[in-house]
A = this chain, B = another copy of it.
Amino acid sequence: MTAVRYELIKTCKQSGARLGRLHTPHGVIETPTFMPVGTQATVKTMSPEELKQMDAHIILSNTYHLFLRPGHDIVREAGGLHKFMNWDRPILTDSGGFQVFSLSEMRKITEEGVHFRNHLNGDKLFISPEIAMEIQNALGSDIMMAFDECPPYPADYDYVDKSLERTTRWAERCLQSHARPHDQALFAIVQGGMYADLRRKSASQLTSMDFPGYAIGGLSVGESKELMYGMLDCTVPLLPAQKARYLMGVGSPDALLEGSIRGVDMFDCVLPTRIARNGTVMTSGGRLVVRNAKHARDFGPLDPNCGCYTCTNYSRAYLRHLLKADETFGIRLTTYHNLHFLLDLMRNVRQAIAEDRLLDYRDEFFDRYGMKDNDRGF
């Protein structure tokens, strides 16, 4: 018996989108879903109550960061990540692979695992598939991710081929060393860079093992949106229909829509929280930089079509003032709005799938409010 079970409710008659439910030890997630990112055991500036208020079903936290600080032993002693951070809904933890590989000059990859330096203090550290499992078992997330290699973009064919083969071997080692399969589900990550046949090869190898869910990794790394959608088109159909599908690191409204249309169930991205800290918000009219001088005397809400806490109670003029004055409350308010915006979008996506009209909804989403092309990606 697996800790997590995907239930397919229906498929959109107008697209490949799926309406589903992901059953986990900490509750049910309605899919397609967007997962706010809580890198260091907190979704930056937000309380758990606020995340529930905006109806976040699941959040993501980063294995690499928690391994470094406070250390997974401390989180285990606290009773696990849920208890440590006071979040009783589902948590997905990534494998740490993406962060470790992003260190570039500071790491060395071997078959055994990856040697790297702690970016906080320079200490030498090592993560292998077994250690990634040990850390995530200590964190106690509902969904763990297999330790993978995310190749750079661009990368040549041979490198990506060898890399995905290693990712497959590592996935097998993860499966073997996973100590709590009845409490925590382990998802594998399909790699293969921007090569369709390598994507198919990776998917084929990983689906031959029995994982309760599959992620598509190594996308949204600098390639064009068209190329990313092409990779989804050749990968998703190879993934089993009775398992959840997760597109990693994607959170712009257009990509959430296009990913859902192609049959993806789960997404995560730091985009909404990161741009919020710079004073940029997502609105039904497109991107809005509320720090700009033109909003100094603008007493309307960020988005007249939004019913979130921020838009209900605060003006652009007030938000601009807070951001200019480096007041944290301003970032709380823009973060709340951006997360609400994406979670609201996903609610509408689920509704549109239920009504077999997701392609129509996508077009309406962009056209109704006259959102410009270059605003779609934020």
Which residues of A are interface residues toward B (Cβ below 8 A)? 40-42, 44-47, 65, 69-70, 74, 77-79, 84-86, 296-297, 299, 313-315, 317-318, 320-322, 324-325, 327-332
Alpha-carbon distance between A321 and B329 when the two chains are bound, in angstroms: 21
If A70-B296, A77-B297, A78-B315 touch, whether A328 touches B45 (CB-CB below 8 Å) is yes
Residue numbers in B under 8 Å from A65 (CB-CB)? 325
> Is the pair A327, B40 in contact by a Cβ cutoff of 8 Å?
yes
How many monomers of this chain does the complex have? Answer: 2
Given A41-B318, A78-B315, A86-B314, CB of A69 within 8 Å of CB of B324: yes
How many whole Å from A165's CB to the nearest CB in chain B? Answer: 36
List 26 A-B residue pairs with CB atoms under 8 Å apart, sorted by A's residue number: A40-B321, A40-B325, A40-B327, A41-B318, A41-B322, A42-B322, A44-B328, A45-B329, A45-B332, A46-B329, A47-B329, A47-B332, A69-B321, A69-B324, A70-B296, A70-B317, A70-B320, A74-B297, A78-B299, A78-B317, A78-B318, A79-B299, A84-B315, A84-B318, A85-B318, A328-B328
Question: In whole angstroms, what is the CA distance A313 to B78 when docked?
Answer: 13
Decide if B44 touches A321 in the complex (CB within 8 Å): no
Q: How far is the CB of A177 from chain B (nearest CB, A)?
A: 26
Q: CA A70 – CA B290 in complex, angstroms?
A: 14
- Which residues of B lie under 8 Å from residue A324 when comparing CB positions? 69-70
